[in-house]
Structure 1
Amino acid sequence: MTSTVLLRQNAPPSPPPERVTVSVHALDAGHFSLPEYQFVHPISRDARKTVPSLSFLIQHHNIHSGKTTRIVFDLGLRKNIERYAEPIQKHVVTRQPMTTDPDVVKSLVKGGLHPEDIDYVIYSHVHWDHVGEPRDFPTSTFVVGSGATSLLNGTSVTLRGGHSFFESDLLPHGRFVELSDPSGTQPNSKFSEEESGVLNFHRPWQPYGRCPETLDLFNDGSLYIVNAPGHLPGHINILARLSDSHQVYLAGDACHDRRLLTGEKEIGEWNDVHGQVCCIHADKQAAQETISRIRELERDGVEIIFAHDVEWENNPVNNGRFFGASKL
């Protein structure tokens, strides 16, 4: 009896349970030019910057079922800009020079995947430079944040500026999910261990770390949708765990310029032709609060990548992080 007890006491500890991670790869999805005064202040009225409109391929492997779920976060620019609604085409003139080749489909094919391989397309928001060409993804389910469909059903009178036009027929009929309002009453939902790794967009919003409102999509801590208010109704971000020591935060349009994170610049504003004050963010104060949270995440060691992150794109360290091959 005594020897048995000693053996149990000296037995090595059990290994910690395996933590589920996801892979995240950037996808080329076009480039265009921005007048910097509409995004940061102070800045020369003539300053312009060519930036990417990045998309991301996220792949989750369910350790229980063996199933791989593939998600594309944002679709970037539409390859054929003539397929945008006419008001958007007029706005696109102000964003030249622009390149739309490769688009997100070509970037996926470069790595050996096709649109039919993508289970979900999650939009950070429904501005024209993020929505791509939905018809290229005929089998994917589209996911938008709360309030996005209201924007698509009619341009909001509270939004000003040429960027605030939306296409009512953007989302494929019968193949989209609009997330619940994070500020609304949440269902009293409980999820069991057996449901770990099962993607569910109707999980209750919960705080996670610095982020007050998140959805743990697979119920395994590998991938969170993060409510990121300010830029546009329904604006959402992604927090992904790539390893035990590496998390990446896909910030969409919560921030357009790294100088906003460092504090070197402030959010820009401008006057339209009617003399009304415009801002690239629908709610400037909420956008500032979201940027503050992202700044704290970066200080905690989380990697931050926003959709128009030209500095991240141009860093040679990230060449191999584009899907399929090194970025040349």
Structure 2
Amino acid sequence: MSSVKPQRCIQLHALQAGHLTLPERFFVHPFSDTARRTVPSLSFLLQHLDTDSGKTTRIVFDLGLRHPTSNYPVPIQRHIQTRQPLTTEPDVVKSLEEGGLSPSDIDFVIYSHLHWDHVGDPKAFPKSTFVIGPGATALLDGDNPTLRGGHSFFEADLLPRDRTIELSPVEDSDSTHSTAEGGLISFHQPWLPHGSVPRTMDIFQDGSLLIVDAPGHLPGHVNLLARIEPHKYVYLAGDACHDRRLLTGEREISEWLDDHGHICCIHANKEDARRTIERIRVLEAEGVEIIFAHDVEWEENPRNSERFFG
């Protein structure tokens, strides 16, 4: 009899977490000055069952928009006026409740990055441990002199520091690292290559869920690669791009001039963002399903309606 264990998989559901409106000119080139589109800010519930111990670990990836928006600091409230129409219901808490879970059931919240439309309300998750990408803490501490625009405001007290893990710098990668017995969760690992992706962290150490370093959009930007069936993977791309036409090559990343004549881009590092999109394009060609945080085409596809929790 074969001693090979079956591959562990992740149970993945999307969560409604609000909608906002994006002006095309800030995201793609060429663009229409008047084109605007209302898109979701998707959150995801990932559940991992360790069949040996019987333990289920629950992770939420991104918390979407904060409800109510009056709980955002004033600079973000001003920026929100440029993203209307905007809705925050159902938020991620209500979406969890519709499926029979509460925030207290969530073990970990992993943030793709710390922009306002992804952080939600961490205070609603009093028992969760928060996981952020390398360099993200510096944003909360005000170390972001090159970031411009109303969206680049970060709350110093956003996260409980005693329940927050910042992943190790990608420079700490060690190709000789060996993983422990599968099923045990660990966020204290080096970054290792996985197939065509150069820097990943196998957090359950069984290949079911990988955190992917996805530089370009913002310091600490990470994505997730989840195995949902033995030979089926889903890639949660966060804000690696905001428009599917960037993935297909129909559009390029946009740049614009602010009121002071500075060249601006929605990505902190345009070239890194372009390279990240290229890697995602390879994954899609390999058969991986790609879902962006603001993926309105995915949300509107009737086949995906049953993939929302509850």
Q: Which interval holds the TM-score relative to the shorter structure? A: over 0.9
Change (3 A) 1:278 1:207: same
Give the structure-1-normalised TM-score.
Answer: 0.92
Q: Distance in 2 between matches of 1:312 and 1:272?
A: 32
Contact kept in structure 2, 1:29 and 1:75, CA below 8 Å: yes
Change (3 A) 1:185 1:16: closer
Q: CA deviation at 1:14?
A: 2.5
Q: Which residue of 1 aligns with 2:59?
A: 71
Q: Distance in 2 between matches of 1:187 and 1:209?
A: 14
Which ranges of 4 or more aligned residues in structure 1 deviate by more than 4 Å? 185-189
Q: CA deviation at 1:184?
A: 3.0
Give the structure-2-normalised TM-score.
Answer: 0.98
Report the AA paired with residue 60 of structure 2.
V
Report the AA paired with residue 305 of structure 1.
I
Flag structure 2 segments of 5+ consecutive residues without an equivalent. Answer: none
Tell me, yes or no, if structure 1 residue 221 matches structure 2 residue 221.
no
Query: Within 5 A, what are the aligned runs for 1:1-328?
Result: 14=2, 16-154=4-142, 156-184=144-172, 186=174, 189-193=177-181, 196-324=182-310
2:172 aligned counterpart, secondary structure: coil
Q: CA deviation at 1:204?
A: 1.6
Report the AA paired with residue 214 of structure 1.
T
Change (3 A) 1:270 1:242: same
Q: Distance in 1 between matches of 2:3 and 2:16?
A: 40
Report the AA paired with residue 115 of structure 1.
P
1:26 aligned counterpart, secondary structure: strand
1:183 aligned counterpart, secondary structure: helix
Q: Distance in 2 between matches of 1:189 and 1:294?
A: 25
Q: Distance in 2 between matches of 1:276 and 1:223?
A: 40
Q: Distance in 2 between matches of 1:289 and 1:71?
A: 28
Q: CA deviation at 1:157?
A: 1.3
Report the AA paired with residue 296 of structure 1.
V
Contact kept in structure 1, 2:168 and 2:189, CA below 8 Å: no
CA RMSD in angstroms comes to: 1.3
Contact kept in structure 2, 1:155 and 1:166, CA below 8 Å: no
Q: CA deviation at 1:253?
A: 0.1
Q: CA deviation at 1:188?
A: 6.5
Q: Distance in 1 between matches of 2:173 and 2:244?
A: 35
Task: Give the number of the structure whose alpha-carbon radius of gyration is greater.
Answer: 1
Q: CA deviation at 1:191?
A: 3.2
Q: Distance in 2 between matches of 1:244 and 1:141?
A: 28
Moved more, 180-189 or 248-257: 180-189
**How high is the sequence identity, in percent, across the aligned residues?**
64
2:154 aligned counterpart, secondary structure: coil
Q: Distance in 2 between matches of 1:100 and 1:191?
A: 40
Moved more, 79-88 or 223-232: 79-88
Q: Which residue of 2 aligns with 1:9?
A: none
Report the AA paired with residue 71 of structure 2.
R
2:160 aligned counterpart, secondary structure: coil
Q: Which residue of 2 aligns with 1:8?
A: none
Moved more, 79-88 or 141-150: 79-88
